[in-house]
Each structure stands twice: as structure tokens, then as C-alpha cells.
Structure 1
Amino acid sequence: MTRILTIASQKGGAGKTTLAASLSVAAAQGGERVVALDLDPQGSLWSWKTLRAAADPAVDRVQLWELSQLPEILAALVPRGVTLAVLDAGGQAAHASIAALRAADLVLVPARPSRLDLLATRPTIEALARLGMGDRLALVLNQCPSQHGARTLAFAERLKRLGVLAEPTVNLRVDHQDALGLGLGVTEHAPGGKAADEIRRLWAWIRGRLGPAPA
């Protein structure tokens, strides 16, 4: 069985691809057999892959005209022994977003601590509700100031009212940008850093929701 983690956001800059890359790496380091699929027409995750020297996690791209075949593409991962597929869903590409949501066992929606980001979570939340998949939603507060103040705490509380809030909060740290630019996950680039620790803890939370990898 391949568990499907979809990372979706209707707003650019929320950190969707950065999370997809680093969570894929952290999961692979934790023993998962991972394939990351870039469904976003911008192709940012695919660009990250072209910078990588390491073969794991595997990264591939699904073009818009291939989205109707997404169930078959994902089904083909099972005999390959893939335990986790991470889908970087298209932000404004409705077809890519809905296809990725339908496939998901868990949908992670990143939002920065801003009102516009908070509003941008609603289309995904509403789409999941229409699909009868509201129980598969997890929100994550991303790119927060490293010193948590009243603002961050207030936005965390507001996100909790919209759905399940993943833990921990992910802070804005330069290690994330540096890792992405080098074709690395943050746990590869700065394994002893605070950013890497947050990503490992976030992956542990996600794994708890998805359940253990199949034997």
C-alpha cells in the first residue's frame, strides 16, 4: 500500500514546495520508500529535483494532460514497494488541485501567519468538504517568526477553528531556502539545525496520522 500525502495551497509563497521537498527527504531518511510528484504547472519541485545528486527520494512530474491518469500513476507505485507518495499540488490549477485532493490520505495545507494566507486556506477546506474528505485535512502554520509572539499564537488559534492543526509550527529560517537552492532537504543540508528538527517533528506528526509504513 502506498500512503498519499498531498500538500496544497491556493496561495503562492505559502511554502508548499519547500515543505514537499524537505518532508519527502525526512520521510526517506526515516525508512520510507518515497516518490514525490510535482503536479504544479510551475514545476518548482521538479526544478529542485534537477539540482539533486541523490537518487532518493524519487521525484517525477505529472503534466496537466496526465491528471486523468493520476489514479493509475499512483496505483503503479504499489508494486514498486513505494510506501509514501508526496503530491505537490497545483496552486491555481484547479484540475491539479482536485485530482491531488481526491487521491490523498492526508492533505497538508500550509499557511503563513497572515490574514490573506488564512483566507487562502478556505478553497481547499471547502473542496475537501464537498468531496466528503474533511477528516483528511491538516493545517500547518508555516514561515513564522522564530520568536513566537502574540501574533503567531493568535493565528494558530484561528487555524485550529478551521481544522486540525499539525505540530509543530514551522519557523522562517534561512536553512530552508538554502537547502532548496542546493537541491537538498533541510535535514540533509543542516541536519543539526532547528529547521531540520522542526521538519522531522512535522513528519513524525504526519506519520502518526497516516499510520505506519506497510511491512
Structure 2
Amino acid sequence: MAAKVLTIAQQKGGAGKTTLAAHLAVAFANSGKRVGLIDIDPQASLSEWYRIRAGLPAAASSLSFVAVAGWKMAADVDRMKSRHDLVIIDSPPHAETEAKAAIRTADLVVVPVQPSPMDIWATAPTLTLARKERVPILIVLNRMPPRGRLIEQMRAKLEADGLPVAAATIGNRIAFAASMLEGRSTLEQAPKSAAALEISALAAEIGSRL
């Protein structure tokens, strides 16, 4: 099977793109995939996570990484695709040129949306770019509260707008940030936790779409 490219994109900052990128990378690597990570976000949060991870004695050898400016990433994507089963791109917010390049090269664009009207409204530029490039998208409800009807309300709103929403949702859990601080993922720190199960479910759903 030819390598696939998964781009994590959302024009609103703080949507949780980097956390999703890192956790999905580990989830796919755990399933036996050769995974390449590309960080084109100038904030370089994924780069810092990988730097810490590279210093761990049990770092996952199946993950490889490169940081590059978005407008120069095409060659790196091609190199990654030649050696990996899946390439995951962490794209920057508020950068249309870089976001467009990351979306154009993708087989699927994952758009994390937090539980707020501002996050829903902020999806519009990303969705417009994906439609122009004819790349499929998947909305992921991220950092959701453990109780209440908010998940159902947001899902109904997004689906009423004709948007595909992942069945798997990601909760607002401290475990995600705690594992990132150590260069790891919840799948490694607490593989039977609710956080790990959520990521595994999302990875399986994304895998079925790629």
C-alpha cells in the first residue's frame, strides 16, 4: 500500500493539534506502521516533544521526525512517503500559505474542534482550503467535558452543516498534557486508561478512512 499523508489542521490556535499529532503517531506506530512526523508549525511544540522523546532510553524507533517551513515541505513529504506507511503533518494556525501546502499534500485532513462556538466558527478557513484542494476532512471533537449534552449538541450542529464528525471523541484529560511533557503518550504511560482508549479508537477510525 502506498504511504498516506494525514494533516492535522485548524486555523484557531490552541485547538490541540500537536497533542493529537503526537498521540496518533504513537498509536499508529504501536499498530505496526512506520510513521513519519513533520512539524511545520513555527511554535515547534511537536519538535520539542520529539526532542525530549529522542532522549528516552525506550524511544519508539518506528517514529521519525523532521521540522521544516511549510512552503519547503514537499520534498520532505516525498522522502518520508518513500520510507514510511504514514506521514503525519502538524500544521500551524493563522498561516494560510503553509496550511494550504499541508492540506494539498494530504489524503485526509483531521480538524480538531474544542467545545466552543469560536472553535466551530474557526473551522471555516480550513474547510474552505480542503474543499478547494478536494481533500477529505474529518472533524474530531477534542477536549470534551465528561458530562452533559455538549457532545451531542456539537455533533448535531456540525453534521447539520454537512460535515463528517468522528464517532470517537477526545476528552479534556490532564493525562494528555502530562505525557507530552515527558516526550511520551498516554498509550505508553497508561495504556488501559480512558485517554489511551480514546486515542486508539480515533486512530482506528482514521485508519479506516485512509
Residue 95 of structure 2 corresponds to 93
- TM-score normalised according to structure 1 size: 0.90
Describe the SS at the equivalent of 1:121: helix
Residue 109 of structure 1 corresponds to 111
1:30-49 equivalent positions in 2, closer than 5 A = 30-49=31-50
Moved over 4 A (4+): none
Q: What is the deviation of 1:131?
A: 2.1
Describe the SS at the equivalent of 1:168: coil
Identify the match of residue 77 of structure 1 among 80, 86, 94. Answer: 80
Give the whole-Å Cα distance in 1 for the aligned partners of 2:172 and 2:193.
13
CA contact (8 A) 2:38 2:67 kept: yes
Residue 139 of structure 1 corresponds to 139
Give the whole-Å Cα distance in 2 for the aligned partners of 1:48 and 1:159.
31
Residue 60 of structure 1 corresponds to 66
Which letter does structure 2 place at the counterpart of 1:22? Answer: H
Identity %, equivalent residues: 37
1:179-198 equivalent positions in 2, closer than 5 A = 179-198=179-198
CA contact (8 A) 1:40 1:90 kept: yes
Give the whole-Å Cα distance in 1 for the aligned partners of 2:128 and 2:32.
34
Residue 4 of structure 1 corresponds to 5
CA contact (8 A) 1:40 1:93 kept: no
Q: What is the deviation of 1:111?
A: 0.4
Give the whole-Å Cα distance in 1 for the aligned partners of 2:201 and 2:169.
10
CA contact (8 A) 2:81 2:87 kept: no
Which letter does structure 1 place at the counterpart of 2:204? Answer: A
Describe the SS at the equivalent of 2:199: helix
Q: What is the deviation of 1:151?
A: 2.1
Which letter does structure 2 place at the counterpart of 1:152? Answer: I
Residue 119 of structure 1 corresponds to 121
Give the whole-Å Cα distance in 2 for the aligned partners of 1:25 and 1:122.
29
Which letter does structure 1 place at the counterpart of 2:179? Answer: A
Question: Deviation digits for residues 121-147 of structure 1, max 9, x if unmatched?
Answer: 1110111122233xx110000000012
Q: Is there any run of 5+ residues in structure 1 with no aligned partner, and where?
A: 211-215
Cα RMSD between the aligned structures?
Answer: 1.2
Give the whole-Å Cα distance in 2 for the aligned partners of 1:74 and 1:199.
24
Give the whole-Å Cα distance in 2 for the aligned partners of 1:59 and 1:140.
24
Give the whole-Å Cα distance in 2 for the aligned partners of 1:170 and 1:145.
9
Give the whole-Å Cα distance in 1 for the aligned partners of 2:140 and 2:49.
22
